[in-house]
């Protein structure tokens, strides 16, 4: 199926943005050795990245809706790449903290506007084209750790900044040839935005909490899959391979999820995603060997099947504030769920990681029933065909 050329440009930028977003965990073992970082300092760096890259997204979404200029999405890859990839030359912890926060700003600035412009460019297949945009990020998130590890191995930690080159080039390309937000969509006033949110608070809340539950499971597995497999006797490399399998399978199914939502409706896809994930995740945790590997892939596939669908359905509720809505669904929900990770680690120290992960999946599974409270409209009913855009202005 053909995809709008400008959506492919944004998807490529999303690939690098999320690749840079996934690199901090790889940097930490190297930085801990070179700068004698404590685990507390490592945790502070992780929290700072969550705060600056996720929780601040609604602010950038609101600004993007007001200014209607492509600068937010265009500069995101360069800003995140330069600052995240410069962690290797930081002389101390406080320099690391500043670099992480600045890198997170680039990540936060890109996502709301990237998702909003993708929606504006979509015609009769908003679910599919949003899934192309999100899949680009998912694949980048899975490949980012491998990429930065290779750069550090070949060039050394002190020259890790070379990994920022693709992001800088992508930003230059988007500044010259990237799509602008539609000028026909009038900026929403703050008072009107509050009124719209209050009027749509029930369906927005259902979407939001569904995304929070999905993000909780996503981030917990991203954080603990490698460690989980090393506890079971596998190598660190094998654990990382299972994580990549989990993420890349989810990226592929997310692409198909958007296509299926355009055909059958978003609520059905969300329900299938939520119902299928829990048994696959539990089977993954309760089996070993090749069967466990297969269940790991299927769990990631079901979990992220509806990842783009929730965003598109929520944007339909307040189309004139698509960047702000995307920020709430993608960034703020992700950031809030990120604070659960330390709790999972703490309980894992006391009760064992395997037991805690099993109980975590079981206890969050009832929240997936929220999918049945979603509106029944199909994704293709979104009034995006009338939205126009200007490219390369």
Question: In which region does residue 181 sit, left (phi positive, over 0), alpha (psi from -120 to 50) or beta (all else)?
Answer: beta
CA nearest 97: which of 153, 29, 24? 24
Q: For residues 173 and 72, is the Cβ–Cβ distance under 8 A?
A: no
End-to-end CA separation in angstroms for the chain: 27
Q: For residues 246 and 141, is the Cβ–Cβ distance under 8 A?
A: no
* Averaged pLDDT, 222-243: 74
DSSP string, 220-289: HHHHHHHHHHHHTT--HHHHHHHHHHHHHHHHHHHHHHHHHHHHH-HHHHHHHHHHHHHHHHHHHHH--H
The correct answer on CATH 3.40.605.10 for the domain covering 1-185 is no
Q: Taking the CA of residue 392 as centre, how many other CA atoms within 13 Å lie in the half-sphere pointing to its CB?
A: 6
Residue-level pLDDT at 185: 53
Same topology between domain 1-185 and domain 201-317+340-379: yes
Give the SS3 label for residue 185: coil
Q: 201-317+340-379: which CATH number, 3.40.50.920, 3.40.630.10, 3.90.1150.10, 1.20.1250.20? A: 1.20.1250.20
pLDDT tens digits, 319-335 = 666 666 666 666 666 77
Kindly provide the residue ranges of all beta strands, DSSP E only, lying in the chain, ordered along the sequence. Answer: 179-180, 390-391
Helices (H), 36-164: 39-50, 57-67, 71-85, 93-121, 126-155
Give the pLDDT band of residue 27 (cuts 50, 70, 90): confident
56 has pLDDT over 50: yes
221 has pLDDT over 50: yes
Residues 318 and 72: their CA atoms lie apart, in Å, by: 20
* Averaged pLDDT, 197-218: 79
Mean pLDDT of the chain: 79
pLDDT tens digits, 149-166 = 889 889 999 999 999 999
Residue-level pLDDT at 13: 92
Domain borders along the chain are 1-185, 201-317+340-379
Query: How is residue 71 written in tokens?
Result: 């600068």
> What pTM was estimated for this model as a whole?
0.69
Cα angle vertex 136, ends 133, 142, to 5°?
145
Residues 324 and 318: their CA atoms lie apart, in Å, by: 9
């Amino acid at each position: 199926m053909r995809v709008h050329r400008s959506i492919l440009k944004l998807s490529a930028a999303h690939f690098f943005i999320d690749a840079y977003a996934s690199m901090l965990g790889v940097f930490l073992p190297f930085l801990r050795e070179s700068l004698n970082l404590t685990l507390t300092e490592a945790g502070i760096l992780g929290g700072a990245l969550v705060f600056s890259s996720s929780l601040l997204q609604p602010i950038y979404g609101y600004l993007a809706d007001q200014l209607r200029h492509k600068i937010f999405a265009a500069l995101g890859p360069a800003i995140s790449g330069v600052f995240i990839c410069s962690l290797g030359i930081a002389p101390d912890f406080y320099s690391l903290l500043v670099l992480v926060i600045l890198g997170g700003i680039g990540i936060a600035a890109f996502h709301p506007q990237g998702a909003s412009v993708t929606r504006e460019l979509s015609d009769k297949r908003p679910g599919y084209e949003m899934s192309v945009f999100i899949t680009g990020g998912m694949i980048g998130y899975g490949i980012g750790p491998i990429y930065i590890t290779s750069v550090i191995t070949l060039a050394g930690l002190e020259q890790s900044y070379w990994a920022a080159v693709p992001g800088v080039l992508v930003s230059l390309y988007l500044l010259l040839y990237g799509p602008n937000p539609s000028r026909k969509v009038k900026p929403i006033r703050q008072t009107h935005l509050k009124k719209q949110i209050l009027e749509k608070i029930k369906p927005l809340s259902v979407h939001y909490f569904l995304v929070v539950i999905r993000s909780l499971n996503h981030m917990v597995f991203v954080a603990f899959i490698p460690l989980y497999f090393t506890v079971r006797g596998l190598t660190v490399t094998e654990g990382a391979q299972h994580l990549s399998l989990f993420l890349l399978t989810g990226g592929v199914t997310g692409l198909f999820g958007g296509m299926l939502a355009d055909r059958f409706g978003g609520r059905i896809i969300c329900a299938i995603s939520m119902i299928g994930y829990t048994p696959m995740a539990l089977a993954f945790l309760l089996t070993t060997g090749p069967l466990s590997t297969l269940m790991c892939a299927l769990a990631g596939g079901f979990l992220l099947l509806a990842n783009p669908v929730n965003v598109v359905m929520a944007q339909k509720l307040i189309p004139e504030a698509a960047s702000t809505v995307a920020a709430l669904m993608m960034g703020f929900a992700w950031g809030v769920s990120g604070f659960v990770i330390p709790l999972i680690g703490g309980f894992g120290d006391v009760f064992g990681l395997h037991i805690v992960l099993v109980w975590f999946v079981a206890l969050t599974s009832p929240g997936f029933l929220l999918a049945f409270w979603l509106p029944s409209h199909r994704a293709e009913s979104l009034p995006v065909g009338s939205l126009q855009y200007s490219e390369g202005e």
